[in-house]
């Protein structure tokens, strides 16, 4: 049975379930900033989403932003993702 999804730890928005992506994996993804968790089943992805690091772990987010901005990973939208994560940082919220 599906779990109730907690708000996004980065921006506080609602999450949605996405099925059968990334070679058969399942995903729970934020509707706003595209933060996500994956699992072999939708239930696994839900558990990962609801038990992920707390919203207070902003140093990890800052490290991810730096990595997205400095390492070429072959994704056209890596800078867009970095911009969205940067906007979600507490010091950048209005």
Domain ranges of the chain: 58-88
Tens of pLDDT, residue by residue over 22-63, are: 577 888 998 888 888 888 888 998 998 988 766 566 677 777
What kind and span of H or E run contains 30? Answer: strand 25-30
Q: Indicate the pLDDT class of residue 10, thresholds 50, 70 and 90.
A: confident
Question: How far is the C-alpha of 81 from the C-alpha of 5, rounded, in Å?
Answer: 22
d(CA 35, CA 37): 7
Residue 11's nearest CA partner among 28, 27, 34 is 34
pLDDT band at 87 (very low <50, low <70, confident <90, very high): confident
Range scoring the smallest mean pLDDT among 17-21, 35-39, 68-72? 68-72
For the residues 1-5, what does the mean pLDDT come to? 75
Residue 18 pLDDT: 85
In this predicted structure, the answer to whether residue 1 has a pLDDT above a threshold of 60 is no
């Amino acid at each position: 049975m599906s779990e109730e999804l907690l708000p996004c730890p980065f921006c506080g928005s609602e999450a949605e379930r996405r099925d059968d992506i990334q070679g058969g994996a399942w995903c729970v993804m934020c509707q706003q900033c595209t933060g996500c968790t994956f699992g072999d089943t939708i239930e696994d992805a839900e558990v990962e989403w609801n038990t992920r690091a707390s919203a207070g772990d902003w140093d990890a987010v800052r490290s991810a932003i730096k990595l997205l901005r400095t390492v070429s990973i072959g994704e056209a939208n890596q800078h867009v993702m970095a911009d969205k994560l940067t906007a979600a940082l507490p010091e950048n919220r209005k």
